[in-house]
Amino acid sequence: MTRPPDRARRRDAARSREELLNAAGELFAERGFERTTTREIGERAGVDPALIARYFGGKTQLYLALVRAEHGDETPADLLDPQRLGDLLERFRRRTSPILQIVMLPSDDASVREAAQAHLYRRLVDPLRERFEREGLDRPELRAELAVAAFGGVILARSAGALDHLAGAQPAEVIDLLHELLSAAGGHVPPADAPPFGD
């Protein structure tokens, strides 16, 4: 039985949108927002680049749709949760987060920069800030931002391969030491008999 033409068109449109989102996520992570063209996104997705304007309105709107689609509205655990930290390190081992790239290497597009920053705060900074506030720590916002900056730097350096030991370290080792580093931002001092950092 042949599908009705309008249902087939809707299915093809949904598939094309998904392919564009996937291709854009990969290219933004590899090259950054500014250096990625709509033509390259269309080529990687295997669809006409003109569909970016049709389905999203343009490259900026495609980026914003990617931000919204990345995690939905669930409230995540903070970076001091070992499971959350491990999940993020595993996900970003395959490709760098376009959100981190936009925030660490700011875009000239104000709407992209603002969306990336809002997403970063909602997903990473705010959960840590709330933890630090519950624990009664001074300057919880600054502590949370420092921890997220350290996390972002580790992710970017690990994916770039610029630091040999960091790039080659096993995920479990990175998780342990990174958790120790981020815990220090929250005033959590390792036990006296803990090995020195980096051993």
Cβ–Cβ contacts within 10 Å for residue 109, how many?
16
Contact (CB, 8 A) for 143 and 175 = no
The Cα 42–Cα 44 span in angstroms is 6
pLDDT given at position 9: 60
What is the 3-state composition of the chain as percent helix, strand, coil, each rounded to the nearest 5? 70, 0, 30
Cβ–Cβ contacts within 10 Å for residue 132, how many?
23
Question: What residue type is assigned to position 14 of the chain?
Answer: A
pLDDT given at position 199: 41
pLDDT given at position 103: 66
Domain spans of the chain, in order of start: 1-70, 75-199
pLDDT given at position 189: 52
Task: List, run by run, the mean pLDDT of 10-residue segments along the chain (199 residues).
Answer: 56 87 87 87 94 90 79 78 86 67 68 80 92 93 93 83 86 89 74 45
pLDDT given at position 108: 72
- Residue-level length of the chain: 199
**SS3 call for 199:** coil
Helix (H) and strand (E) counts for the chain? 11, 0
- Which contiguous run of DSSP H or E holds residue 18? helix 5-31
Tokens for 27, please give them.
């290219």
pTM: 0.69
pLDDT given at position 47: 93
pLDDT given at position 162: 79
pLDDT given at position 97: 66
- Look at domain 1-70 and name its CATH class: mainly alpha
pLDDT given at position 126: 95
